[in-house]
């Protein structure tokens, strides 16, 4: 064992303690007067252990030990880890490369182990805070009479000699807590100054009323907000933390208000919906342009007329990788770029889809490092743990934010609630109308989410929120490119639109400087339509039970079947579509020449005519079932995106999810699943033959 004490002179240590943080630090800070640092030179053979003194603070200590390799006693920069260059020619090649890269990352091990010995007890480094060359141990408040010195044990577990510098830092934990509190206050102050003052007041006022149970009764906006909070899972404990954090800024918040109606609002009064409509119109000039993706708004294009040969288009979005463009001196050591641990918080929302996630931390990153992301990376798919593609309900808002982790930062649950609260509150501002939000409220969404994220971050470094919006046309454009493929390049050099997939590489900037690049991939899967034999007889059974599409008194219904007449009413002939020969129309078997058609979104059985509108309203496309691939769903020819479904009063209707679902149910997963089931049927043998 090699043993050493600090090789820094007492004067050097005193200078380090007294130096202002702004002198030594490029990014984060350590508390002035609350840190002790020392430096050691080592040359460890395999299996050898270096032992050194570590001072402790009585109020608690965060110990950081970092190794910097040297060559001939001259410091060399840490080599950034980058993604391998491949020759992928297809999406499957890329997915294979990602899987292999993630597997390689999982096998990376440090050349060292580190333990901290306090008296006769030893503590291992915290894996959540440590990297390959940086080790962190947190020590609590010391008992009365306990020694204020520990011993660090750094062991070379590699098969190679390790030469370089070991730097040791002991930070007063109590001072770190105070510093984190000061940093959070500064972040809140920045948010207040950068955001619309009426928006900040409305948020703060409404959250206080939410905790108080809405004295005087809920307004329309507050009713929607409480419903959204319940659906997203925003706890009162989270809201209480937010309001307590804002308490020191009450005078400033109220003093900044511009709208006289807001100035006159008391605690037992709600902000009215007319005032909310003025609040949500945030000035675009307050948002950095670089914080938006190149196409932040809904894009509408003319799509070619679909035919039954056109497969149903399913999509997936997943986060793949992150790259650093920054050099951080987080520990204050001025010896080059320190290792960082960024992660990504994201949300994806559409009329029938709400998902949010936090990726694992991408450890051991310095400038130009590239790492695959792991953890919650399936932004849009069948389920959080499934890579299967799914059918979108448009439009879809994808929002994400890079955060750089520091000790004492927020939990995953805190971050999920924060980004969820931002989405839920903005949706309440727009009464759940996502198209209206996209048309004029992206800035409101960003400022509202930033408000909650700053309050939850606990001093972690937040980077500008990014937003992308997709409709069907945008998805199809991105996944219908003609690029030859990202040949001999890694993902960060392969941005582009390809056949059946797109590689997106947005750059996150702060203060005009590039900080991070992300890679997320959009892929498309074509599902062929169910095989339908024209001219055959068929009945359609509801997914929920023994109920069948039928006509009765010339009206479309879904009912149980008991009598021979019921069976005839529930049997149809599948014929070539009256408006398009490759689609289908449903002809009654007991009323030949009569077809099911929709009219004012209700269904009737009517005799065929040459009227073009009749032909279009009696023509449908059979697609895979919304609630199950073994079933079918019938889509309208002249109302794309509208489907045949049935209601609790047995009526057969045409509609889409967003506009037919009652507002209070739109964001309830059980209600969404029920609607999809109501639009899903099984094509069975004709009931007249049973």
Write out the two tokens for 164.
Answer: 């370089």
- The pLDDT score that the predictor gives to residue 663 is 58
Residue 386 lies in a domain: no
Overall number of domains in the chain: 2
Pairing of strands 49-55, 2-4: parallel
* Alpha-carbon gap, residue 192 to 185, rounded angstroms: 11
* Alpha-carbon gap, residue 643 to 393, rounded angstroms: 12
What is the CATH number for 172?
2.60.120.380
- Of 180, 203, 229, which one is at a domain's C-terminal end? 180
62 contacts: CB under 8 Å, gap ≥ 6 = 136, 137, 138, 139, 170, 171, 173, 176, 407
Q: Distance between terminal CA atoms of the chain?
A: 87
- The pLDDT score that the predictor gives to residue 181 is 81
What is the CATH number for 575?
2.80.10.50
- The pLDDT score that the predictor gives to residue 40 is 93
* Alpha-carbon gap, residue 378 to 492, rounded angstroms: 19
Mean pLDDT by 10 residues, the chain (690 residues): 45 25 35 81 94 93 87 44 65 83 84 91 86 88 88 93 91 83 84 88 93 92 90 91 91 90 88 82 40 39 41 87 82 59 93 89 85 93 85 86 82 91 92 84 90 83 90 85 71 86 92 92 82 83 92 95 94 93 92 95 95 95 81 89 89 78 60 83 86
- Of 112, 145, 180, which one is at a domain's C-terminal end? 180
* Alpha-carbon gap, residue 661 to 655, rounded angstroms: 9
- Three-class secondary structure assignment of 114-172: EEEEECCEEEECCCCCCCCCEEEEEECCCCCCCCCEEEEEEEECCCCCEEEEEEEEEEE
Residue 221 lies in a domain: no
Residue 217 lies in a domain: no
- Of 148, 180, 212, which one is at a domain's C-terminal end? 180
- The pLDDT score that the predictor gives to residue 3 is 61
Residue 16 lies in a domain: yes
- The pLDDT score that the predictor gives to residue 226 is 92
- The pLDDT score that the predictor gives to residue 431 is 86
- The pLDDT score that the predictor gives to residue 581 is 86
Q: What's this model's pTM, rounded to 2 decimal places?
A: 0.77
Residue 503 lies in a domain: no
Residue 412 lies in a domain: no
Helix axes 412-429, 220-232, angle to 10 degrees: 150
Structural domain of 164: 2-180
Residue 552 lies in a domain: yes
Residue 383 lies in a domain: no
- The pLDDT score that the predictor gives to residue 86 is 58
Going across the sheet that includes 49-55, the strands are 2-4, 49-55, 149-156, 112-118, 121-124
Contact 519, 320 (CB under 8 A): yes
* Alpha-carbon gap, residue 6 to 39, rounded angstroms: 6
- The pLDDT score that the predictor gives to residue 288 is 32
């Amino acid at each position: 064992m090699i043993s050493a004490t600090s090789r820094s002179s007492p004067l050097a240590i005193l200078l380090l303690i007294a130096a202002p943080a702004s002198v030594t630090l490029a990014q984060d800070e350590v508390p002035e007067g609350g840190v002790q640092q020392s430096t050691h030179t080592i040359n460890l053979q395999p299996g050898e252990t270096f032992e050194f003194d570590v001072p402790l603070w009585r109020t608690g200590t965060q110990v950081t030990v970092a190794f910097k390799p040297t060559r001939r006693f001259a410091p060399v920069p840490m080599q950034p880890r980058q993604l391998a260059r491949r020759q992928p020619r297809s999406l499957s090649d890329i997915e294979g490369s990602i899987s292999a890269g993630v597997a390689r990352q999982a096998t990376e091990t440090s050349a060292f182990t580190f333990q901290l010995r306090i008296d006769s007890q030893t503590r291992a480094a915290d894996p959540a805070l440590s990297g390959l060359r940086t080790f962190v141990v947190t020590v609590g408040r010391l008992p009365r009479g306990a020694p204020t010195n520990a011993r660090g044990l750094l062991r070379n577990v590699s098969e190679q000699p390790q030469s370089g510098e070991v730097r040791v830092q002991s930070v007063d934990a109590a001072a770190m807590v105070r510093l984190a509190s000061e940093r959070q206050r500064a972040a809140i102050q920045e948010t207040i100054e950068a955001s619309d003052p009426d928006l900040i007041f409305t948020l703060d006022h409404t959250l206080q009323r939410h905790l108080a149970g809405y004295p005087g009764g809920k307004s329309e906006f507050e009713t929607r907000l409480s419903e959204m909070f319940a659906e997203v899972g925003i706890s009162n404990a989270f809201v209480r933390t937010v309001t307590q954090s804002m308490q020191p800024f009450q005078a400033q918040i109220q003093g900044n208000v511009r709208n006289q109606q807001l100035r006159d609002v008391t605690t037992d009064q709600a902000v009215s919906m007319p005032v909310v409509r003025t609040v949500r119109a945030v000035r675009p000039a307050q948002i950095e342009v670089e914080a938006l993706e190149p196409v932040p708004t809904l894009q509408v294009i003319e799509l070619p007329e679909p035919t039954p040969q056109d497969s149903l288009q399913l999509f997936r979005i997943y986060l793949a990788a992150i790259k650093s463009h920054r050099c951080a001196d987080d520990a204050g050591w001025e010896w080059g770029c320190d290792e960082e641990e960024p992660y990504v918080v994201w949300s994806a929302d559409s009329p029938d889809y709400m998902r949010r996630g936090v990726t694992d931390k991408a450890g051991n990153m310095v400038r130009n490092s590239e790492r695959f992301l792991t953890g919650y990376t399936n932004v849009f798919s069948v389920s959080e743990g499934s890579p299967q593609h799914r059918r979108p309900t448009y439009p879809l808002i994808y929002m994400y934010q890079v955060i750089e982790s520091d000790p004492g930062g927020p939990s995953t649950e805190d971050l999920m609630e924060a980004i969820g609260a931002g989405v839920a509150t903005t949706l309440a501002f727009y009464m759940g109308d996502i198209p209206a939000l996209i048309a004029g409220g992206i800035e409101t969404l960003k400022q509202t989410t930033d408000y909650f994220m700053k309050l939850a971050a606990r001093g972690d470094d937040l980077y500008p929120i990014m937003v992308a919006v997709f409709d069907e046309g945008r998805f199809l454009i991105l996944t219908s490119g003609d690029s030859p493929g990202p040949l001999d390049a890694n993902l960060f050099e392969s941005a582009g639109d390809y056949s059946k997939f797109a590689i997106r590489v947005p750059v996150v900037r702060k203060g005009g400087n590039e900080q991070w690049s992300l890679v997320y991939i959009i892929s498309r899967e074509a599902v062929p339509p169910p095989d339908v034999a024209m001219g055959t007889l068929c009945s359609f059974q509801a997914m929920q039970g023994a109920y069948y599409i039928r006509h009765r008194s010339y009206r479309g219904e879904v009912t149980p079947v008991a009598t021979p007449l019921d069976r005839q009413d529930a049997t149809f002939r599948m014929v070539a579509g009256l408006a398009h020969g490759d689609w289908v129309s449903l002809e009654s078997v007991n009323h030949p020449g009569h077809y099911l058609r929709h009219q004012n979104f209700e269904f009737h059985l009517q005799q065929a005519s040459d009227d073009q509108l009749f032909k279009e309203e009696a023509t449908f496309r059979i697609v895979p079932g919304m609630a199950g691939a073994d079933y079918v769903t019938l889509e309208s020819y002249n109302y794309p995106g509208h489907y045949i479904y049935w209601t609790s009063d047995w009526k057969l209707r045409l509609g889409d999810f967003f506009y037919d679902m009652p507002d209070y149910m739109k964001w309830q997963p059980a209600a969404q699943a029920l609607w999809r089931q109501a639009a899903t049927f099984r094509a069975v043998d004709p009931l007249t033959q049973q």
